[in-house]
Amino acid sequence: MTKEEIVEQIKENALNQQIPIMSDEGIQYLIQYIQEHSVHRILEVGAAVGYSAIMMCLASEDVVVTTIERDEVRYLEALKNIKKVGLEDRIQLLYHDAFDVSLEDEYDLIFIDAAKAQNQRFFEKFEKNLVSGGTIITDNMNFHGLVDQNLDEIQSKNLRQMVRKIKNYITFLEDNSRYQTHFLKLGDGLAVSIKV
């Protein structure tokens, strides 16, 4: 099997198991971003089964990824998947809660794709690891279109809370003068925050 076929199988398996992986549109944007900006070091929060880490790594031979996953089953699956595509030398997979991880290294790109309600906390924890001129990309900013809805229209209390947190994160990014943030309606919505 070619690398592309293995990756396609990893993606299909994840989708069949209803593991939330990045949409094709989102992944294509990340790949293009990595290539156009000559991104070298990437930190990802939320590996799941390693699909997006693998895709980012395959975007360019120069890319190395550190990615964090707190779920044991997904971590073990990610470990297996990374080996299958032979990227164990370029992807460092950490089995931890991201809030317990202490990193000294610097990254050109930080990709936040973990617990949506915690986006601001992830951003604030890891921004010290971003190089100046680097970028933080956050996924799920539209939360399946719910972020565009009026909060009163959302019946479930849990969903309302989640949407409120994402809206607060949008305000946090808009008000943050140290970053220039663009919101893109790609996939489930991306926030692209460039450190100015």
Q: Which of 63, 74, 102 is nearest to 13 (CA)?
A: 74
Closest residue by beta carbon to ligand SAM: 46
Q: How near is the Cβ of 50 to ligand SAM at its closest, in Å? A: 7
Among positions 45-84, residues that touch ligand SAM (CB under 6 A) are: 46, 48, 51-52, 68-71, 74
DSSP 62: T
Among positions 129-188, residues that touch ligand SAM (CB under 6 A) are: none
Enter the tokens of residue 12.
């299909």
Distance CA 189, CA 173 (A): 14
DSSP state string for 171-189: HHHHH-TTEEEEEE-STT-
Q: For residue 153, how far is the Cα from the chain centroid? A: 28
- 7, 21, 85, 191: which one contacts ligand SAM (CB under 6 A)? 21
Provide the edge-to-edge strand list for the sheet that holds 107-112: 91-95, 64-69, 41-45, 107-112, 130-138, 190-195, 179-184
Part of the chain binding ligand SAM (CB under 6 A), chosen from 31-39, 95-103, 144-152, 161-169: 95-103
- 115, 163, 186, 190: which one contacts ligand SAM (CB under 6 A)? 115
Cβ closest to ligand SAM, residue 86 vs residue 133: 86
Cβ closest to ligand SAM, residue 21 vs residue 141: 21
Tell me if 98 contacts ligand SAM by CB under 6 A: yes
- 3, 4, 9, 20: which one contacts ligand SAM (CB under 6 A)? 20
Enter the tokens of residue 159.
């969903």
Cβ closest to ligand SAM, residue 115 vs residue 173: 115
Q: Tell me the number of residues near ligand SAM by CB under 6 A.
A: 18
Beta bridge partners of 94: 68
Element (DSSP H or E) covering residue 54: helix 51-59
Interface residues toward ligand SAM, by CB under 6 A? 20-22, 46, 48, 51-52, 68-71, 74, 97-99, 113-115
